[in-house]
Structure formats: C-alpha cells, structure tokens
C-alpha cells in the first residue's frame, strides 16, 4: 500500500473530525452528544478512555478501546504525518533546520545551566542535586496547536526551558540577583513547524490524539476545531531535520512573570 500524502493540520482538520463524529454516532447513536453535555471531559488525559466509555453508554456497539483502535487505524490510513510545533530559544535560529530536534537530557541541561549561570557556581552546585532531571530525560516535546505556544504556553519562546526558568527563579531567591534576564537575553525566540510522521508518534500518544479528535467532534458540531487546543506529546527519539519545515521568530511576546 502506498504512503498516504495527506498531512493532518490543526486547526483545520474538519474532514477528519467529521469522520470521527460519524464513528461516534455509528457506535453509540445521537444520544452520545447529550451524554457529552452532561459529562464533559476532564483535564487529565490519562482518563480519556474511561470517560469515553461513559459517553458511549451501555448500548454502544463498540467499547471505548475498540472505538479508539478503529479511529487510530483510520487516522493512519488517511495521513502520513501531523503538523506540530516546538518552541524554544536556540542560540542559532537555524539549528533546527540543520540538526532537527534533539532530545533533552540531564547532561545537556546541566551543561546549559553551567554556561548560562556562570559566576554562580556555588549556588548552582547547591541547587542542581535538588532538581528532578529524570522528568525530562530523553524527550522532545511537540504541541499540536501553534496558537497555544504563542498565546497561552509562552514560557518556551520567552525563556526557552521550564527547567532553566525554574532554576533561574531558585537562584534569584538564593542570591538576590536577577537571573531570568539571562534567559531572555539568550538565543532567539523560535517556533519550529514540523511534519511529524505518524510512525514516529508513540502508540499511546496516537491514541490520545484520537481522543482529542473525539473531544473536538463532540464539542464542535462538526465544524472542525477552532478553539485553541492544548495537546502536547513527547517523542523519545530525535526528529530528523528533513521533518522541520519552517522556523518563525515571534516578537512582542507578553511575559506573564
């Protein structure tokens, strides 16, 4: 079977959302929308399939797991890749186009911290053992909706790293000297648009993407997703440079801190 040429874009995935709605109705009937209004989804995505089981109801022809399996198979048959976004403050704004997206590792983060906070070695040595570096080991994070990175989760283009931002705040408290300005003065705000092959997306993240389609299909009355979507997932391998299609450098970002 030849590779599908289609690219899933968000917002604008109206045709896929329409097919998700059709699958919901075929499985559970029109009353699925009434149950959705009574029981909207929670914020914790790990509960999505449990929630979906309640929305489908006891008379559904499919279980939540079976419906997600069906949607995942349909998604991978329709699309070869999904457009996603990564925000940071790289020193070289064209690095993503040359090297792709690299994994965040403790060694890289500690090295960046030591370079960035030069002159604060004593305070840094006291703080680094307290940091939870295992939480970011071996991942690179992608966001489905570019607007979310520019209007809601804007710490990445302003500061580059939640880890380094948290460390800067702790250093300010420990030393009484400004540290966040070092992050703001470093690098170039960058949002990289990436066409991520579906074959690179972990199976659980792909299932959650299907659940996001279900959320949108139930909420959007078949018009496609328009509200800003908070959907992030982690790749556990670098994204090669051929999948980075553009880099933009937003200006006039409002710093919430």
Structural tokens at position 49: 């399939």
Q: Delimit the domains of the chain by residue range.
A: 7-82+201-224, 83-192
**CA 238 – CA 200 distance, rounded (Å):** 10
Average pLDDT of adjacent 10-residue blocks, the chain of 257 residues: 70 89 94 92 85 93 95 94 95 91 88 93 92 77 93 88 91 94 93 96 94 90 67 93 95 78
Structure confidence at residue 142 (pLDDT)? 96
- Kindly give, in sequence order, each residue whose CB lies less than 8 Å from that of residue 214, ignoring residues fewer than 6 positions away: 20, 24, 48, 52, 67, 71
Structure confidence at residue 38 (pLDDT)? 92
**CA 85 – CA 144 distance, rounded (Å):** 6
Structure confidence at residue 235 (pLDDT)? 93
Structure confidence at residue 153 (pLDDT)? 85
Which pLDDT tens digit goes with each residue over 45-98? 878 999 999 999 999 999 999 999 999 999 999 999 999 999 999 999 889 999
Cα separations in angstroms, 21 against 28, 65, 74, 157: 11, 16, 13, 35
**CA 210 – CA 78 distance, rounded (Å):** 13
Tell me the pTM.
0.88
Place of tokens 């279900």: 214
Structure confidence at residue 225 (pLDDT)? 52
Burial class (CB in 10 A: 0-12, 13-18, 19+), 78: middle
DSSP annotation of 144: S
Q: What is the DSSP string of 13-75?
A: -HHHHHHHHHHHHHHH-THHHHHHHHS---S-GGGHHHHHHHHH-TT-SS-HHHHHHHHHHHH
Structure confidence at residue 174 (pLDDT)? 94
Structural tokens at position 53: 């089981």
């Amino acid at each position: 079977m030849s590779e599908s040429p289609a690219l899933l874009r968000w917002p604008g995935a109206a045709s896929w959302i329409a097919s998700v709605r059709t699958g919901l109705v075929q499985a559970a009937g029109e009353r699925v929308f009434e149950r959705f209004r009574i029981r909207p989804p929670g914020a914790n995505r790990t509960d999505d399939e449990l929630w979906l089981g309640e929305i489908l109801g006891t008379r559904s022809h499919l279980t939540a797991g079976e419906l997600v399996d069906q949607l995942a198979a349909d998604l991978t048959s329709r699309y070869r890749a999904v457009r996603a976004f990564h925000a940071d403050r790289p020193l070289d704004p064209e690095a993503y186009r040359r090297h792709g997206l690299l994994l965040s590792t403790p060694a890289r983060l500690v090295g960046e911290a030591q370079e960035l906070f030069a002159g604060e070695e004593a305070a840094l040595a006291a703080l680094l053992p307290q940091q939870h570096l295992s939480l970011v080991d071996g991942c690179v994070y992608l966001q489905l909706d570019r607007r979310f990175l520019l209007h809601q989760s804007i710490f990445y283009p302003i500061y580059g790293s939640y880890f380094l931002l948290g460390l800067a705040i702790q250093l300010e408290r420990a030393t009484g000297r400004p540290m966040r300005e070092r992050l703001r003065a470093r690098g170039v705000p960058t949002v990289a648009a990436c066409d991520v092959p579906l074959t690179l997306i972990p199976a659980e993240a792909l299932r959650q993407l299907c659940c996001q389609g279900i959320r949108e299909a139930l909420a959007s009355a078949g018009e496609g997703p328009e509200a800003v979507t908070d959907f992030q997932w982690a790749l556990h391998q670098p994204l090669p440079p051929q999948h980075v299609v553009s880099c933009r450098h937003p200006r006039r970002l409002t710093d919430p801190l």
